[in-house]
Structures are given as C-alpha cells and as structure tokens.
Amino acid sequence: MNTLSEAQQRILAFIHDYVETHGVPPTIREIQHGVGLSSTSMVSYHLRALERAQRLSRYARRSRGVVLREVHPSSEIVNVPLVGQIVASAPAPTPDADALAAAEHVIPIARNLVSTTKGLYALEVRGDSMIDALIHDGDIVILRRVESADEVKNGDLVAVFLTDRNESTLKRIYREGRRLKLKPENPTLQPFYVDAQHARILGRVECVIRRVS
C-alpha cells in the first residue's frame, strides 16, 4: 500500500472494516465521516484514484456501489442482480438465467449474509406492508429462487405472484390446507387468503439492504 496516499489507505481500511461490521459497503458520505475528509467530492477523488490503482470497483448509480478488489475471505463480496421491484398490482415473474445475466444493476453484499449464492436476485420494495419486519419502502430484499414450494416453511418471508390477480406481493406465508395465508407485518393491515393453485412463490428473502436516507 506504499504507493497510495495516507487518505487512500485510510479509505481502504474503513471500507474493509465497514463491510466486516455491516455486511454491505459504505456510502460516500459514510466514508467521508469515517475517514474525516472535508467533502464528498474529496472522497470521490480518492475513489477514482483507487479505481485506477485497481484496488476497488464502483457500480454507477448505486449508493453502496464500492467493492474492494482484495478482501479477506470472511468478507467476500457477492454481486446480486437487481431485476425489478416488488409492489402491489405489478407482475414480477421469477427471473430466469438470461434475465439475471442481463441485469443492468447489481447489489454488492457480504457473502456471509446469505446461506448460498445460488439463485440469488434482488428486488426493490415499494409500499409499507412489512414495516414491522423492518422492511420499508425503498429497501432492497435479497431473495433466493426456490425449486419447490417444500423449501418454504410457515412464517418465511417470500415474494409471491398471484396468477389470478396478476399481482406480486411480499408477505409472510402460512399453509392452511389448500389455502395460503399471506400475512403483512403492519398493524393497520389484515392477512388475506389465496388458493394455493393461484400462487407461485418467486423466492424466499435471505436478507434486507436498508435504504440510505
């Protein structure tokens, strides 16, 4: 690291420690405060220099888009394709391999946040039906596609596509005979029931990335 400036060395160390602690990369403003730089423009200047030195990569238009090139295995970064939103009254079919490969944006997360990297994809949450599960409007949910409904247990957080309504929703799921109970996590909203034949589970939530205020 002797070819880097003192500020750039502090930035690399801060990013590494932040990922170890929080599981996601820091924002530019968090780097500014954590390292003690005078402005976010100074952070951007040093990040560009670190990119040229091939010490990190950055993803455009993502607030947490900084990824170290060299990280300890315990903080290995996984890039999860962001393929759309999960909102009421909007179809969100399970993305196939081509859709995942063609995703324009990715969400970098720590490998230790998820049980497996297979079949992961990300959706941006719209709405406030899951606020008591600490999932708010604008948050990102990391989901894993499921091969069979048997992989989902009662109480799991899942994205479900309701084929008869042409709607998608993020809810806790419970099986009750031939029906599914879809439970919001908001005291102002009531659970509702759907015929299991008209519900397709798109994925199970592995972790949540909070919206940057």
* Average pLDDT of the residues in 177-185: 91
Mark which of 52, 75, 98 sits at the end of a domain: 75
> What is the domain count for the chain?
2
pLDDT per residue over 35-48, tens digit each?
A: 999 899 999 999 98
pLDDT per residue over 91-150, tens digit each?
A: 455 555 555 555 667 887 777 777 777 889 988 888 888 888 888 888 889 999 887 777
Asked if 31 and 93 sit in the same domain, the reply is no
Asked if 69 and 107 sit in the same domain, the reply is no
Asked if 18 and 109 sit in the same domain, the reply is no
- What is the pLDDT at residue 175? 92
pLDDT per residue over 69-90, tens digit each?
A: 754 444 467 788 888 888 744 4
Asked if 118 and 51 sit in the same domain, the reply is no
The more confidently predicted of residues 71 and 161 is 161
Mean pLDDT of the chain: 81
Smallest CA-to-CA distance from 140 within 167, 170, 118 is with 170
- What is the pLDDT at residue 89? 41
The structure's pTM equals 0.62
Mark which of 41, 59, 75 sits at the end of a domain: 75
What share of the chain has pLDDT > 70, as a percent?
84
Domain presence at residue 195: yes
Domain presence at residue 168: yes
Mark which of 20, 50, 75 sits at the end of a domain: 75
Confidence band (pLDDT; 50, 70, 90) for 32? very high
- What is the pLDDT at residue 98? 58
- What is the pLDDT at residue 2? 46
Asked if 71 and 14 sit in the same domain, the reply is yes
* Average pLDDT of the residues in 43-62: 83
CATH number at residue 37: 1.10.10.10
Asked if 61 and 103 sit in the same domain, the reply is no
Return the structure tokens found at 126: 């719209």
Based on its alpha-carbon atoms, the radius of gyration of the chain, rounded to whole angstroms, reads: 19
Beta bridge partners of 124: 85, 140
Asked if 65 and 99 sit in the same domain, the reply is no
Asked if 117 and 163 sit in the same domain, the reply is yes
* Average pLDDT of the residues in 201-211: 85
Asked if 21 and 102 sit in the same domain, the reply is no
pLDDT at 213 exceeding the cut of 60: no
Range of the domain at 47: 6-75
Asked if 126 and 33 sit in the same domain, the reply is no
- What is the pLDDT at residue 71? 47
Asked if 118 and 187 sit in the same domain, the reply is yes
- Tell me which residues are annotated as active site: 129, 171
Domain presence at residue 1: no
CATH number at residue 104: 2.10.109.10
Asked if 125 and 195 sit in the same domain, the reply is yes
Q: Where are the beta strands (DSSP E) in the chain?
A: 56-58, 66-68, 77-86, 105-110, 120-125, 140-144, 157-162, 167-176, 179-183, 192-195, 199-209
Q: Is 90 helix (H, G, I), strand (E, B) or coil?
A: coil
- What is the pLDDT at residue 94? 55
